[in-house]
Amino acid sequence: MVLTGVVGWLASFQLTVDGWRLLGDPAYRPPCDISPVVTCGSVMSSRQGSLFGFPNMLLGLGAFAAVAALGVAVLAGARLHRRLWLALDAGALAGVVFVHWLIGQSLYELNKICPYCAVVWVVTIGLFWCVTLHCLEHGVVPAPRGVLEVLRDTHWLLLTAWYGVIALLVLTRFWPYWSSLL
């Protein structure tokens, strides 16, 4: 939780800084504007970049700070109440659903990849996976014993496959661009 919270917060912070700079100077080019495909500026400026009426990165600043703080508390020996674990898992699930919507928008509507956004995708999926496994293993979320054993034995394989599918989507969606670089 600490790792995903800190990394997600840093990516959200960088997006926020670049977003503010873009507001002040429309000619500003964020350092993540690497190519026509790998870019942050046009993604942040899109309607998808402010889905709820304010920049999405502000959600990340708050959510990832809370996750990191809870992670530090757990590391310090705090025992979180069952309801807090459920809220954290529900929030991570909402985050992972939102991230997958953003992945689809990025790949098939905007036709761009934002590197900092991709970092947020990775840590949000990892956070959801780890928190859900914790909740299952500690009985916070009930699951049949067989399901729990399969997930426990294959959790890294399943997470790697999840990331692999997203990487394949990115690779195949922008194959003409990637192959032109070779």
Task: Tell which residue, 182, 54, 52, 43, has the closest CA to residue 119.
Answer: 43
Specify the range with the lowest mean pLDDT, choosing from 22-36, 53-67, 126-140.
Answer: 22-36
Q: What angle do CA 68, 164, 45 make, to 5 degrees?
A: 60
CB neighbours of residue 43 within 10 Å: 24
Q: Work out the average pLDDT over 76-102.
A: 97
Total number of domains constituting the chain: 1
Please determine, for residue 116, whether its predicted confidence score (pLDDT) is greater than 90: yes
Q: How far apart are CA 33 and CA 21, in angstroms?
A: 13
> What's at 182, amino acid-wise?
L
Task: Tell which residue, 78, 169, 180, 154, has the closest CA to residue 121.
Answer: 169
What does pLDDT average to over the chain?
A: 95
Q: What percent of the chain has pLDDT over 70?
A: 100
Domain that includes residue 152, residue range:
2-181
pLDDT of res. 117: 96
Q: Which residues contact 151 (CB under 8 A, 6 or more apart)?
A: 133, 136, 143, 158
pLDDT tens for residues 35-64? 999 999 889 989 999 999 999 999 999 999
pLDDT band at 182 (very low <50, low <70, confident <90, very high): confident
Task: Tell which residue, 120, 166, 111, has the closest CA to residue 16.
Answer: 120
pLDDT of res. 154: 95
Helices 56-75 and 115-137 cross at an angle (nearest 10°) of 40
pTM: 0.94
pLDDT of res. 6: 98
Query: CATH number, domain at 139?
Result: 1.20.1440
